[in-house]
Chains A and B, each alone.
With several copies, the nearest count.
Chain A
Amino acid sequence: MVQFRSVTKSFGGSSPAVLDVSFHLRKGEFAFLTGASGAGKTTILKLVHMLHRPSSGEVRVSRYSSSRIKRRDLPDLRRRVGYIFQDFRLLENLTAEENIAFALQVTGTAKAKIAPRVRKLLNQVGLAARAQAFPRELSGGEQQRVAVARALANEPLVLLADEPTGNLDERASSGVFELFRRINASGTSVLMATHDAELLRRHRNVRVIELEEGRLVFDSAGDPVA
Chain B
Amino acid sequence: MRSLREALSGIRRAPALTVLSVMAIGLSVFSIGLFALTAHNIDVALSDVEGRVEVVAYLRDDASEELIEIARHEIESYPEVESARYVSKVEALYEASRELTEFSDVYSDLEVNPLPASLEIALRPDFRTPVDVETVADRVTSYHFVEEARYGREWVDRIYSLRRVAGGAAVILGLSFAFGAALLIGIAVRMSVLARAREIAVMQTVGATDGYIRRPFLIEGLMTGLGGGLLALALTFVTYQAVERTLVSLAWLPDLWTAAGLAFAGILGMLAAGRAVRRELRRLDVY
Contacts and interface: CB of A to CB of B under 8 A. Distances in A.
Q: Do chains A and B touch in the complex (CB under 8 A)?
A: yes
Contact of B205 (A70, A72, A83, A107): A83
A15 interface: no
Given A74-B204, A150-B206, A92 B287 contact: no
A78 B202 contact: no
Given A93-B13, A105-B2, A53 B206 contact: no
Contact of B207 (A52, A72, A91, A107): A107
Given A93-B13, A93-B199, A106-B212, A71 B287 contact: yes
Interface in A91-112: 91-93, 102-103, 105-107
A51 B208 contact: no
B286 A106 contact: no
A70 B202 contact: no
Interface in B198-227: 198-199, 201-210, 212
Interface in B39-65: none
B285 interface: yes
Given A89-B202, A93-B13, A93-B199, A106 B207 contact: yes
B205 A78 contact: yes
Interface in A53-93: 53, 69-72, 74-79, 83, 85, 89-93
A75 B287 contact: no
Nearest to A104: B206
Contact of A50 (B199, B208, B212, B287): B287
Contact of A49 (B2, B199, B203, B205): B205
Most buried by A among B206, B210, B287: B206
Residue picked from A93, A102, A150, most chain B C-beta under 10 Å: A93
B198 A103 contact: no
Interface string B266-286: 000000000000000000011
A91 B208 contact: no
Interface in B1-45: 2, 13
Interface string B173-208: 000000000000000000000000011011111111
A53 B286 CA distance: 7
Contact of B199 (A51, A70, A74, A91): A91
Given A91-B199, A92-B198, A93-B13, A70 B207 contact: no
B206 A103 contact: yes
What DSSP secondary structure best describes chain B's contact surface?
helix
Contacts, number: 60
B207 A78 contact: yes
A52 B286 contact: yes
B287 A106 contact: no
A96 B183 CA distance: 36
Contacts of A150: 206
Contacts of B202: 89-91
Contacts of B204: 74-75, 78
B207 A69 contact: no
Contacts of A79: 206-207
B199 A69 contact: no
Nearest to A93: B13
Contacts of A74: 204, 207, 285, 287
B286 to A, nearest CB: 5
A89 B205 contact: yes
Nearest to B201: A89
B199 A106 contact: no
A92 B196 CA distance: 10
A73 B209 CA distance: 9
Nearest to B196: A93
B217 to A, nearest CB: 15
A207 B55 CA distance: 103
Nearest to B286: A53
Contacts of B207: 74-79, 103, 106-107, 154
B49 to A, nearest CB: 59
8 contacts: A50-B287, A52-B286, A75-B208, A83-B205, A89-B198, A92-B198, A103-B206, A103-B207
Interface of B: 2, 13, 198-199, 201-210, 212, 285-287
Interface of A: 49-53, 69-72, 74-79, 83, 85, 89-93, 102-103, 105-107, 150, 154
Given A51-B286, A106-B207, 7 more contacts: A51-B285, A53-B286, A53-B287, A71-B287, A75-B207, A75-B210, A107-B207
